[in-house]
Amino acid sequence: MKRRLVVVALVLLSVVELVHGDGWRWAPGSRPHSVTITEFGAVGDGKTLNTLPFQNAVFYARSFTDKGGAQLYVPKGRWLTGSFNLTSHLTLFLEEEAVIIGTKDPSQWPIVEPLPSYGQGLDLPGPRHRSLINGYNLSDVVITGNNGVIDGQGSVWWDWLHSHELNHSRPHIVEFLHSEEVVISNLTFLNSPAWSIHPVYCSNVKVHNVTIKTSLDAPLTDGIVPDSCSNVCIEDSSISVGHDAISLKSGWDNYGISFGRPTSDIHISRVDLQASSGAALAIGSEMSGGISDIHVDHIRIGSSSKGISFRTTPGRGGYIAEVVVADVVMDSVHLAIEFTGNWSSHPDDHFDPSFLPVIDKITLKNMEGTNISVAGVLSGIEGDPFSAICLSNLNFSIADSAPSSAWTCSNVHGYSELVLPKPCSELHDTSTNSSICFSLSSYSALAVL
**Count of alpha carbons within 13 Å of 369, Cβ hemisphere only?**
33
Give the tens place of pLDDT for each residue, 59-85. 999 999 999 999 999 999 999 999 999
Task: Please spell the DSSP secondary structure of 143-202, one letter per residue.
Answer: EEESSEEEE--THHHHHHHHTT--SSBPP-SEEEES-EEEEEEEEEEE--SS-SEEEES-
Report residue 405's pLDDT band, with 50, 70 and 90 as the boundaries.
confident
Instruction: Say what percent of the chain tops pLDDT 90.
Output: 84
Q: Which helix (H) or strand (E) holds 4?
A: helix 2-20
Cis omega (within 30 of 0) on the bond before 421? yes
Give the tens place of pLDDT for each residue, 253-263. 999 999 999 99
Report residue 401's pLDDT band, with 50, 70 and 90 as the boundaries.
confident
Q: Is it the case that residue 438 has pLDDT exceeding 80?
A: no
Q: Is it the case that residue 21 has pLDDT exceeding 50?
A: no
Q: What is the DSSP letter of 212?
A: E
Rounded Cα–Cα distance for residues 275 and 221 (Å) = 9
pLDDT of residue 17: 42
Q: Is it the case that residue 284 has pLDDT exceeding 50?
A: yes
Let me know: does 76 contact 19? Beta carbons within 8 Å: no
Report residue 5's pLDDT band, with 50, 70 and 90 as the boundaries.
very low
What is the pTM for the complete model shown?
0.92
Report residue 350's pLDDT band, with 50, 70 and 90 as the boundaries.
confident
Q: Is it the case that residue 213 has pLDDT exceeding 50?
A: yes
pLDDT of residue 446: 37
Let me know: does 316 contact 288? Beta carbons within 8 Å: yes
Report residue 424's pLDDT band, with 50, 70 and 90 as the boundaries.
very high
Give the tens place of pLDDT for each residue, 162-209. 999 999 999 999 999 999 999 999 999 999 999 999 999 999 999 999
Domains, the chain, in order of start with CATH, read: 75-447 (2.160.20.10)
Rounded Cα–Cα distance for residues 185 and 235 (Å) = 10
